[in-house]
């Protein structure tokens, strides 16, 4: 399993991967807890992947500028707007940091 497949498995299960400096913080679900060792084995590639996605891969939409989860879109259609920092025009794929 390569690093993109590992990140995708974490994402699909509702987990979160986050970069803090050169450290990777993982919130794994019970379904993906067994992947912790493999994530450690692929740390350099995982760090590079997280950097390319702004430092975070998560299933829940969040602002790419301030990382807030307070996003709004009328009738849940169209582009997001961050209610924390005011950034607008956030596309779904950017808000969810899809791999």
Pair 51, 88 in one domain:
no
E strands within the chain? 16-20, 23-27, 56-58, 71-72, 81-82
Is residue 84's pLDDT more than 50?
Answer: yes
Pair 16, 35 in one domain:
yes
Count of structural domains within the chain: 2
Specify whether the CB–CB gap between 57 and 99 falls below 8 A.
yes
Pair 16, 50 in one domain:
yes
Pair 7, 54 in one domain:
yes
Q: In which domain, by residue range, is 22 found? A: 3-58
**Bigger pLDDT: 80 vs 13:** 80
Using one digit for the tens of pLDDT, what is the confidence trace for 16-47?
888 998 899 988 888 888 999 999 999 999 99
CATH number at residue 99: 2.20.25
Pair 30, 64 in one domain:
no
Pair 10, 50 in one domain:
yes
């Amino acid at each position: 399993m390569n690093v993109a497949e590992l990140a995708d498995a974490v994402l699909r299960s509702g987990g979160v991967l986050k970069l803090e400096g050169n450290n990777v913080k993982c919130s794994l679900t019970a379904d993906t807890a067994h992947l912790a060792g493999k994530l450690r084995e692929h740390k350099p590639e995982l760090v590079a992947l997280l950097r390319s996605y702004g430092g975070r891969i998560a299933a829940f939409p969040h602002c790419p500028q301030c990382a807030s989860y307070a996003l709004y879109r009328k009738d849940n259609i169209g582009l997001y707007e961050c209610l924390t920092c005011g950034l607008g025009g956030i596309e779904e794929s950017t808000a969810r940091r899809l791999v």
